[in-house]
Amino acid sequence: MLIYLRVLRESFTFAWNALTTNLLRTFLSLLGVTIGIFSIIGILAAVDSLERQINDGLSAVDISTIYVLRISFGPTDVEPYEYETFPNVSYDEYQMLKRSMEDIDAITYTVFSSPESIKFEDNTATGVNIAPGTHEFYDIENIKLDEGRFFNESESVSGSPVVVLGYEVAKSLFKNTSPIGKRVRLYGNRFTVIGVMSRSGSGMSLGPSKDESAYVPVNFTRKLYGDNNRSKASCIILKPKKGVDQDEFIAMLEQNLRNYRGLKDGEISTFFINPLKGFADFLEQVTSTLTIIGIVISGFSMLVGGFGIANIMFVSVKERTNLIGIQKSLGAKNRFILSQFLFEAMILALFGGLFGLLFVWIGTVVANSISEDFVFVLSTYNILLGSGVSMLVGLIAGIIPAFSASRLDPVEAIRTGM
């Protein structure tokens, strides 16, 4: 054990001397490893950060939630010329499903609206996401309120001009005063503020941030725009009861809608049922694909780095041929010489890997200082992975030079060195 510790110490000394003796050669040799580790770990860190942000966004909603609309959330076998003619889901269909589906825990009807400006006296909040919905939106979206309340069923059905403001919207319009009971201007009409949502904070979410949104009864916008406006995609959002088989629930949901629309056997469904779980699985496939592509591309950089390590090790063997001969003439075993050069190759590669990790860390710090909504994270796992990969590259790149050094004849080695 002690002899291998001594080999490790001597190898570190030789490696350090190799680094400092010819800095330009060392820099060029280790550049490939540094770039390779930077590329691989940088990509893994970015994908991990993206996946964490997506999971944080999904954690705010029930994964069993289902969206029914004329648009598909993912790839589809339906041709574009077919789904472009699909009608919007209607308020009547929402009411039909509410009556006929027994296993529904919550259901709401909403319309995807374009951003609007909301005014109060001299203050204006621009780019506000308007979310028209029925009163069940409160349960579907898991909305939390700082002040006031959400609109009730009576206000929802009648389309009353009431509004629930997001945290940032309320702050920009009313500063530090309570907005409850105040009247704001939206859609050219006066709306009474009845609630303010709790702050959800920055970060990735499914759809626009609640902080910059405002909820109004959907029947108000139906009176304003009508039910056949193609520029406004409507959606029915359902949440099945716990324990209900989702595949059976979706099959029943599809059959109810097909019957209501009078679709015959063999005709395609003129709507898309988008389970949130399927969307989450699709995002997971995308991130996995990005990871694989990134690793394959970065692998070429690691290949170049491996050649650089092999090159510097061959040079090191040639420069120390005389020393190898002396060591072997004094009784050094082949495995001792082999271990010595393998240790040296791994240590040299580790230096390159550590520089690569350092650059990744600097990149995450800079990116986090620039981005407010996206957080880049360099995990301990990625740090250990980067160190392990760099040492593995050093091991593979150093095998042939180390083996050739261990097989040298001591007499020929001393003569050649002289």
For the entire predicted model, the pTM comes to: 0.63
pLDDT digits (tens, 9 = 90+) for 188-230: 899 999 999 988 765 445 567 788 899 999 999 888 887 777 7
* Packed helices 91-100 and 246-261: angle between N→C axes, nearest 10 degrees: 130
pLDDT class for 132, splitting at 50, 70, 90? very high
Is 236 a residue whose pLDDT tops 90? yes
Question: How many Å is the maximal CA-CA distance in the chain?
Answer: 102
Answer whether residue 293 shows pLDDT above 70: yes
Q: Which of 5-14, 105-114, 145-154, 171-180 has the lowest mean pLDDT?
A: 5-14
* Residue 31 to residues 268, 290, 349, 355, 382, Cα–Cα distance (Å): 57, 24, 10, 9, 20
What does the pLDDT read at residue 235?
Answer: 92
Beta bridge partners of 333: none
Give 354-404 pLDDT, tens digit per residue. 888 888 888 888 887 887 666 777 888 888 888 888 888 888 888 888 777
pLDDT digits (tens, 9 = 90+) for 39-51: 888 887 887 777 7
Residue 95: pLDDT band by 50, 70, 90 thresholds? very high
* pLDDT more than 70, % of the chain: 87
DSSP per residue, 37-65: HHHHHHHHHHHHHHHHHHHHHHHTS-TT-
Q: Which residues pair with 275 in a beta bridge?
A: 66
CA distance 200 to 59: 12
Helical ranges in 60-179 per DSSP H: 80-83, 91-100, 137-140, 153-158, 167-174
Question: Cβ neighbours of residue 405 under 8 Å, at least 6 residues apart?
Answer: 317, 320, 324, 337, 338, 340, 341
* Range from 17-31, 160-174, 293-307 carrying the lowest mean pLDDT: 17-31
DSSP letter assigned to residue 271? S
Residue closest to 186 by CA, chosen among 108, 129, 111, 148: 129
Contacts of 37 (CB under 8 A, 6+ apart): 302, 305, 352, 353, 355, 356, 357, 360, 386, 389, 390
Higher pLDDT, 128 or 2: 128
The answer to whether the beta carbons of residues 373 and 168 sit under 8 Å apart is no
CA-closest candidate to residue 209, choices 60, 358, 42, 36 = 60
Instruction: Yes or no: say if 36 and 185 are a contact pair by the CB < 8 Å rule.
Output: no
- Beta strand 116-120 with 145-148 is unpaired
- Interatomic CA distance for residues 304 and 315, integer angstroms: 17
145 by DSSP, 3-state: which? Answer: strand
Average pLDDT over residues 340-345: 78
Tokens 């203050």, residue located? 123
